[in-house]
Amino acid sequence: MQASLWYRTMYGRTWVRVRSMYNEPLWLLIGIAFPLFTTFGLGFLYRSAGVGSIAGFAVIGGIAVSFWSNVVWSMATQFYWDKQEGIFELYLVSPAPISAILVGMSVGGFVGTAPAALLVGIIGWQVFGSAVSPIWWLIAVGFMLTIIALYSLGMLLASVYLAYGRQAESLNDSVQQTVSMFSGVYFPTLGLGSPFPVSLQLVVSLIPLTIGMDVLRKAIFAPLTSAFPTVSEDLAILAVLCVVFFVAAQKAIGLMRERGRRNGTLVVRLR
């Protein structure tokens, strides 16, 4: 019975997220246009700098921006917005597991974002793509591990943002571009070609997008990227991050609810 309730809750939240994204034309336009701006901006920058042979990096960056924006704006802040609209109380009084709601948000966000990301990739590759020899199994494994780790991080941030309330949107504004820069969306940030010192590379390796971008570049542009860290190390780090962030998200849910019971502020709307 509990398993059935969990899966039905997850499916219901997934369906709502997908329908909400596809029923709003403006959201669809934004989901495609913003990553395309990133792709074209980086692609033309590479070409003007005389390194047009790696302009294909810009396409991967545009796809990554699609999913990272979805994690930050549609996952991390969702509970905060739900509380402001008076919906979060329904989650608490219903028998639906909070974890199933979070997983449903993640699955729905991925399904809703994937077509836009695919379109960005197709358009970008037509303009900036170069001859490559992709390792498809590595692309598939690296991409899925990156997505799982990213949305697990989004689940964790959803609870954190709910607890901190009004500061959530300000934190999103500061995190969005900062993480994009350090995670390798704009240029490689790991290995010998990175402009960052080793100590900073170790820190940014805790961001799933950083490792995911490194794996995808190696799988698509193997001769153009450093072999350090190795592909095996990248995949191992991603797998660990998937587990760590997912477990941390479950712990954060419990702590958030306990904090709300003690302080009586869990469903208090902030204006």
Distance separating alpha carbons of residues 116 and 120, to the nearest angstrom: 6
In a domain, 103, yes or no: yes
Residue 1 pLDDT exceeds 60: no
pLDDT on residue 66 = 86
The residue among 147 and 90 whose pLDDT is bigger is 147
With beta carbons less than 8 A apart as the criterion, state whether 203 and 226 touch: no
Distance CA 122, CA 241 (A): 29
Residue 104 included in any domain: yes
Q: What does the pLDDT read at residue 144? A: 94
The Cα 15–Cα 80 span in angstroms is 20
pLDDT value at residue 223 = 53
Q: pLDDT at position 94, please?
A: 81
The token pair at 15 is: 């369906």
Please determine, for residue 103, whether its predicted confidence score (pLDDT) is greater than 80: yes
Provide DSSP, the chain: -HHHHHHHHHHHHHHHHHHHHHT-HHHHHHHHHHHHHHHHHHHHHHHHTT-GGGTHHHHHHHHHHHHHHHIIIIIITHHHHHHHTT-HHHHHHSSS-HHHHHHHHHHHHHHHHHHHHHHHHHHHHHHH-------HHHHHHHHHHHHHHHHHHHHHHHHHHHHHTTHHHHHHHHHHHHHHHHTTSSS--SSTT-SS-HHHHHHHTTSHHHHHHHHHHHHHSGGGS--SS-HHHHHHHHHHHHHHHHHHHHHHHHHHHHHHHHHS-TT----
Give the model's pLDDT for residue 270.
54
User: Does residue 90 lie within any of the structural domains?
Assistant: yes
State the total domains in the chain. 1
pLDDT tens by residue, 212-250: 988 888 888 765 455 567 888 889 999 999 999 999 988
pLDDT tens digits for range 152-170? 998 888 887 777 666 666 7
Domain span at residue 127 reads 2-263
Is 232 within the bounds of a domain?
yes
The reply to whether 55 falls in a domain is: yes
Confidence of residue 79 (pLDDT cuts 50, 70, 90): confident
The pLDDT of residue 150 is 92
Q: Quick one: pLDDT at residue 172?
A: 73
Give the rounded percent of residues in the chain with a pLDDT score beyond 70. 87
Half-sphere exposure of residue 241: CA atoms within 13 angstroms, side-chain side = 27
Is residue 128 assigned to a domain?
Answer: yes
pLDDT at res. 197:
87
pTM for the whole thing? 0.86
The predicted structure's pLDDT at residue 260: 63
CA pair distance 174, 243, nearest whole angstrom: 26
Per-residue pLDDT for 5 more than 80? yes
pLDDT at 145: 94
Structure tokens at 262: 């003690």
Give the integer Cα–Cα distance in Å for 216 and 222. Answer: 9
Residue 268 lies in a domain: no
Summarised one tens digit per residue, pLDDT across range 13-44 is 899 888 887 887 777 787 788 888 888 888 88
With respect to residue 233, please indicate whether it lies within any of the assigned structural domains.
Answer: yes
- Distance (Å, whole) CA 254 – CA 97: 11
Tens-place pLDDT, residues 45-57: 888 887 766 777 8
